[in-house]
Structure 1
Amino acid sequence: MKRNLQEVDDATLCLNLWLTQGLILAIAASCSLWLHGWDGTLGLFRLPLLSGVGWAAAAATVVILTSIAMDRYLPSNWQDDGSINERIFGNMSTAGIVLVCVAVGFSEEWLFRGVIHPFAGNLWTSVIFTIVHTRYLRKPLLVISMFGTSWLLGLLFELEHSLWPPILAHIGIDLVLAMYLRYTIKRRQGEEL
């Protein structure tokens, strides 16, 4: 049995990503229907006002710029997740990255904002969100970043009472940062040649 993620090949790592997101989506859908009913679940997905989309874009921009600044100006060992993100996104096609980011953003926001948040509030939902991202727990900077991002996504949900603003922000954050990561990997490999 593999003892840590470093011993798992990249294909198995990606398979685990998809299985995890499928499980999160199934839990989100079943719990949402159980807790909110059909009409309540549909209500979570009502279209936001244009201002909600603007707030989502603003929140995503803040998180993206903060993450890029952390990458450029802070020691890399403060942010190293064991190179898991590099292994997942480094050689993935653009279409693959988009698909993963949409799946992750949709399923995680439905579970955390749509199911957990209405009962636990933003603080505890953000704590749970941070803890679930276990590979970041050994790095205080990543814990703070994860909690802050979750807190912002929770504020978007509270502001609009719709899952779409946090979903759009989550997808945007993941997509831009995954593309940025792939770009920096390719640039580094080009410099090493």
Structure 2
Amino acid sequence: MKKQSDVVAELTDRELKLNVYATQAIMLIIAGIFGWFVFDSWHEFIALFQVDIGLIIGVGGTVAVVIVLLDIILDRYLPKSWMDDGGINERVFRDLTFFELTILCLIIAICEELLFRAVLQTAFGLVIASTIFALIHFRYLYKPVLFINVWLVSFLLGALFHWTGNVVVTIFAHFIIDFLLGLFIRYQYRYKKESEGNG
């Protein structure tokens, strides 16, 4: 069997992005199937969606910004090899327009939070849902810092869901994390290209 890094290297950037969208579609389908068994009624599921702007932006946004700042600090001060995901995130985000970045991050946040928080955490609890979330990022399994980081982020989002009972808060927080980190990756890539061009 080919290693994931070898498979990814053979994909074009477009194919890699399509893979991301396909993965999210699969998660949404799984969430729908599992959710059918987890929730006794449609109303029980809908109750997880509460439009509380103060909570969504104030709490979800604050948690997201803190996570992003910590990620940027880790990226700056830890050895690059510890934070290297094989260039996958860079390839996904580097050439996206602002609109494409927004849509992609929104889709990821909705699909993953519905599956991992609304369905799996409701069914199995915070620790199991966070662990499954970390394990599906299997390219991080051989990168202890990245793996622990993604588990802790998932745990924090799960704790947020446990505390608020509102999946909209975690969807917003997840969106802001991915969106800001996507912008950071895009900025880093363009800065690197400009530096190489001027060098």
Q: TM-score range by the shorter chain?
A: over 0.9
2:30 & 2:99 partners in 1: Cα distance? Answer: 26
Does the 8 A contact of 1:52 with 1:156 survive in 2? no
Give the counterpart of 1:168 among 172, 186, 199. Answer: 172
Residue 100 of structure 2 corresponds to residue 96 of structure 1 = yes
Write the letter of the residue equivalent to 1:171.
F
How many residue pairs were aligned? 193
Alignment of 1:1-193 (within 5 A): 3-36=6-39, 37-48=41-52, 50-193=54-197
Cα drift, residue 167 of structure 1: 0.5
Does the 8 A contact of 1:56 with 1:165 survive in 2? yes
**Long gaps (5+) in structure 1:** none
- Secondary structure of the 1:44 match is coil
Scaled by the length of structure 2, the TM-score of the pair is 0.92
Write the letter of the residue equivalent to 1:108.
E
1:103 & 1:135 partners in 2: Cα distance? Answer: 21
Q: What RMSD, in angstroms, separates the aligned Cα atoms of the two structures?
A: 1.5
2:111 & 2:55 partners in 1: Cα distance? Answer: 23
Percent identity of equivalent pairs: 35
Write the letter of the residue equivalent to 2:149.
S
1:146 & 1:69 partners in 2: Cα distance? Answer: 15
Write the letter of the residue equivalent to 1:16.
N
Report runs of 4+ in structure 1 exceeding 3 Å deviation.
none
Does the 8 A contact of 2:95 with 2:186 survive in 1? yes
2:53 & 2:177 partners in 1: Cα distance? Answer: 20
- Residue 178 and residue 49 in structure 1: after superposition, are their counterparts in 2 closer, same or farther (change >3 A)? closer
Cα drift, residue 75 of structure 1: 1.1
Cα drift, residue 55 of structure 1: 1.6
Q: Deviations over 1:103-146 (max 9, x none)?
A: 00010000000000012111111111000111111111101110
Cα drift, residue 29 of structure 1: 2.5
Q: Deviations over 1:27-61 (max 9, x none)?
A: 21232233213111111212246235322112101
2:180 & 2:21 partners in 1: Cα distance? Answer: 20
Write the letter of the residue equivalent to 1:67.
D
Does the 8 A contact of 1:48 with 1:160 survive in 2? no
1:10 & 1:153 partners in 2: Cα distance? Answer: 29
1:65 & 1:142 partners in 2: Cα distance? Answer: 15
